[in-house]
C-alpha cells in the first residue's frame, strides 16, 4: 500500500531547471503537484508547442522567475482529477482546456480563475490542446486589435504556421475576405483552410499586387511597416503579431525584436502591436469555433511526452505547418 501511494505521487514531466536549449531537456519523474484551495489538478491528455515556450528556457526568463525551475509547455487539454475546496465551476471528471505553465507533464495545476474552460464534447483533446496560445493570439489580432468586419479584405502575412492557420480561419469565420501569404509547399494547405487568395512569397511580392487591405495581420515581419501601411485602405489597420521571417532568416532574434520595437514606437490608431492575453471568454469562443467546424486546427506532427523537447527544437527552426501537438497519457 505504501509503495503504491508513493508511486501515485510522482509523474513524468519535462522540467527546465536552468537556462537550456530544447535539445538539453528531457522528461523525468517529479512529484505530482498538490492542488491549492482555488485550483484544479488536471490530468493532461494533450498539449502543443508555441514559440513563447522557448522564451521560458532562456536566461532572461530564469532570472525573471527568481532562478527557479519551471515546467515546459503551456497549452493543455485534459480531465479534472481533483479540485480545491473553494472551486465552484469545475468538478472531478470535467473535460477542460486552456493554458498554464508546465503542460508537458502528466498532471498540472491551474487556478479556477485562470486560463481554463470546459472543453466542448465535440472537440477532441488533441484539437483542444492546440488552441489556447496561438488561437487566442489570432482571435485577438483579428477581432480586438484589427476590428475586423464582415466583408473586410484581410491580408495574413505568415499564414501557414501556428498563429497564421488560426488567423485565416477566424478571419473567414468573422466574415472577412482573406489573402494569405505563405511559401510554395504551404499553398494547398492554406487554400484548404479557406483563404480566398493565396500569395506564394517565393514567387510574388504581396506588396506589388496593387491591392489595398482593410486589415493586415503580420505574423512574418517580412516587409517594413511603411510598406505595409502603404497597402491599407482609408481607416485600415495594421496589426503586428510577430516577425518569424526575420527571426528564422538573416536578422535572428535581435532583428525580430528590433522590427517589433519599430512597430511599437509607431503604434497609433492604425498600427497595433500586442501581447496576447489568456481570457476565459476567448477560450470558450475558440472551443465553439472548433466544435461547430468553422475552425479546424492544423497539426504538422504529434509527439509523445518523452519526445516533447523535440517539438520545442522543431519550433526553434520556424516554418511550421500549423501546430506541433504533444499527446500525453
List interacting residues with ligand NAP (CB under 6 A): 50-52, 133-134, 137, 157-158, 160-164, 181-183, 186, 201, 219-220, 222, 241-245, 247, 274-276, 318-320
- Which residues sit opposite 109 in a β-bridge? 41
Of the two residues 138 and 328, which places its CB atom closer to ligand NAP in the complex? 138
For the CB of residue 327, give the shortest distance to ligand NAP in the complex, in Å.
19
Residue 293's region, left for phi above 0, alpha for psi from -120 to 50, else beta, is left
Of the two residues 109 and 160, which places its CB atom closer to ligand NAP in the complex? 160
Please, are residues 42 and 80 in contact by the beta-carbon 8 Å criterion?
A: yes
For the CB of residue 278, give the shortest distance to ligand NAP in the complex, in Å.
10
Burial of 191 (0-12, 13-18, 19+ CB in 10 A): middle
Provide CB contacts within 8 A for 162, sequence distance 6+.
48, 50, 51, 130, 133, 134, 320, 322, 323, 324
For the CB of residue 321, give the shortest distance to ligand NAP in the complex, in Å.
7
The string of DSSP letters for 153-196 reads: EEEEESTTSHHHHHHHHHHHHTT-EEEEEE-GGGHHHHHHTT-S
Of the two residues 109 and 137, which places its CB atom closer to ligand NAP in the complex? 137
CA distance 97 to 285: 12
Of the two residues 12 and 319, which places its CB atom closer to ligand NAP in the complex? 319
Coil/strand/helix, residue 228: helix
Shortest-Cβ-distance residue relative to ligand NAP: 161
For the CB of residue 17, give the shortest distance to ligand NAP in the complex, in Å.
24
For the CB of residue 27, give the shortest distance to ligand NAP in the complex, in Å.
23
Of the two residues 77 and 133, which places its CB atom closer to ligand NAP in the complex? 133
Of the two residues 232 and 324, which places its CB atom closer to ligand NAP in the complex? 324
For the CB of residue 219, give the shortest distance to ligand NAP in the complex, in Å.
5
CA distance 80 to 41: 6
Which CA distances in Å does 250 have to 69, 245, 254, 301? 32, 9, 10, 27
Amino acid at each position: 500500500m505504501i509503495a503504491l501511494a508513493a508511486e501515485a505521487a510522482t509523474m513524468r514531466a519535462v522540467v527546465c531547471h536552468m537556462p537550456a536549449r530544447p535539445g538539453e531537456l528531457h522528461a523525468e519523474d517529479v512529484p505530482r503537484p498538490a492542488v491549492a484551495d482555488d485550483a484544479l489538478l488536471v490530468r493532461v491528455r494533450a498539449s502543443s508547442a508555441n514559440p513563447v515556450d522557448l522564451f521560458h528556457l532562456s536566461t532572461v526568463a530564469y532570472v525573471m522567475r527568481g532562478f527557479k525551475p519551471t515546467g515546459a509547455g503551456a497549452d493543455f487539454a485534459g480531465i479534472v482529477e481533483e479540485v480545491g475546496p473553494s472551486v465552484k465551476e469545475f468538478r472531478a471528471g470535467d473535460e477542460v482546456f486552456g493554458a498554464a505553465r508546465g503542460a508537458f507533464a502528466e498532471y498540472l495545476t491551474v487556478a479556477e480563475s485562470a486560463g481554463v474552460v470546459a472543453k466542448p464534447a465535440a472537440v477532441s483533446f488533441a484539437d483542444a490542446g492546440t488552441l489556447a496560445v496561438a488561437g487566442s493570439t489570432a482571435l485577438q489580432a483579428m477581432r480586438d486589435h484589427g476590428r475586423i468586419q464582415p466583408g473586410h479584405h484581410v491580408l495574413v502575412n505568415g499564414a501557414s504556421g501556428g498563429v497564421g492557420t488560426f488567423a485565416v480561419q477566424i478571419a473567414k469565420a468573422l466574415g472577412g475576405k482573406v489573402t494569405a501569404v505563405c511559401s510554395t509547399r504551404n499553398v494547398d494547405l492554406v487554400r484548404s483552410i479557406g483563404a480566398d487568395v493565396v500569395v506564394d512569397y517565393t514567387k510574388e511580392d504581396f506588396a506589388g499586387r496593387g491591392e489595398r487591405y482593410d486589415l493586415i495581420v503580420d505574423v512574418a515581419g517580412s516587409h517594413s511597416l511603411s510598406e505595409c501601411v502603404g497597402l491599407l485602405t482609408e481607416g485600415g489597420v495594421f496589426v503586428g503579431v510577430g516577425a518569424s521571417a526575420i527571426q528564422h532568416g538573416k536578422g535572428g532574434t535581435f532583428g525580430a525584436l528590433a522590427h517589433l520595437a519599430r512597430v511599437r514606437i509607431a503604434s497609433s490608431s492604425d498600427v497595433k502591436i500586442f501581447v496576447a492575453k489568456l481570457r476565459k471568454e476567448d477560450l470558450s469562443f475558440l472551443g465553439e469555433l472548433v466544435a461547430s467546424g468553422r475552425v479546424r486546427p492544423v497539426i504538422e506532427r504529434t509527439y509523445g511526452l518523452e519526445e516533447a523537447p523535440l517539438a520545442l527544437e522543431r519550433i526553434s527552426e520556424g516554418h511550421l505547418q500549423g501546430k506541433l501537438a504533444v499527446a500525453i497519457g
